A and B are shown apart, each in its own frame.
Chain A
Amino acid sequence: MANGVPLNWYLILSAILFGLGVAGFIYRRNIITVFMSIELMLNAVNLTFITFSYSFKQVDGHIFSFFVMVVAAAEAAVGLAIILTVFKNRETLMVDDVSSMKY
């Protein structure tokens, strides 16, 4: 290409990664893998933000992406702590087995 990679391809890649994240979220039964699919979705959204930041030639998209990363870190910490607590009580990591509030 004389003038570089078309911007739309980055958006298509982001859509593919987001779709894979949704597929993992729906298919998988291990709660940690489900959580990782959520992180994959967040990464895909980060790529979209940075792509549009390039398109408008402003740095605000980078800052949004930075905040997404920070919130993902906080969410991962608390979510994994909750998973640890659920594992301590129910002794299973499969989503299907934690299907009722009463143990």
Chain B
Amino acid sequence: MTALIFFIFAGIAVFCGINLVAQTHPIASALSLIGVMGSLAILYLQLGGEFIAAAQMIVYAGAIMVLFVFVIMLLNAGAEGALQTSRFVRYFGIVLLAAFLGLISFIIQSMLPRTEGVVFGLFQGGTAVDVGRKLFTIYLLPFEVTSVLILIAIVGAIVLARKEI
């Protein structure tokens, strides 16, 4: 059952990833990215990361991607024109990419030690309580620094995007 869910959602993630690169219109790419994020959230759930799965959907798919979709709609970005690189370069690039990924997969499979399998429910430490406990004790400094970072990002985005009167 775990393997079935993994294959289905890994397949959806890879398909949406390929769709992101292959589609010409940015909105289709944005929706494919939301598909990737959704399937990755299910995989995080399988790995016991329930808080991170919910945070991924709320923050990434529900806020960041909405921002992307807004900007695409506002700028009225149309479909891209034809590429200027030659066909041979493009297709050879795809072949090279596939070969590179195959090489990486082979290395991962053969060089890393045999780990145990992922069983859904084996790792119970990913609850909100555990994440919160570590976040507010050991990782308190990065937490406060990222809150200042977000404040800087808010101020920067507002200053950059406002209308000059």
> Which positions in A face B, CB cutoff 8 Å?
1, 3-13, 15-17, 19-21, 23-24, 27-30, 32-33, 35-37, 39-40, 43, 46-47, 50-51, 53-55, 57-60, 62-63, 65-67, 69-78, 80-85, 87, 93-94
8 Å CB contact of A15 from B18, B59, B108, B122: B108
Residues B149 and A36 in contact, CB atoms below 8 Å apart: no
Give the number of residue pairs across the A-B interface with Cβ within 8 Å: 221
Known contacts A4-B2, A37-B20, A82-B160: A66-B52 contact under CB 8 Å? yes
| Residues in chain B near residue A93, CB distance under 8 A | 75, 77
| Chain B residues within CB distance 8 Å of chain A | 2-3, 6, 10, 13-14, 17-18, 20-21, 26, 29-30, 33, 36-37, 40, 43-44, 46-49, 51-52, 55-56, 59-60, 63-64, 67-68, 71-72, 74-75, 77, 80, 83, 90, 93, 97, 100-101, 104-105, 108-109, 112, 115-120, 122-123, 125-126, 130-131, 134-135, 139, 142, 146, 149-150, 152-154, 156-158, 160-161
Select which of A5, A81, A83 is within 8 A of B3 by beta carbon.
A5
Contact among A63, A76, A81 for B68, CB-based, below 8 A = A76
Contact B97 A19, beta carbon cutoff 8 Å:
yes
Going nearest first, the 8 A-B pairs with the smallest beta carbon separation are A4-B117, A74-B153, A81-B160, A4-B119, A20-B17, A81-B157, A24-B21, A7-B115
Interface of A is mostly: helix
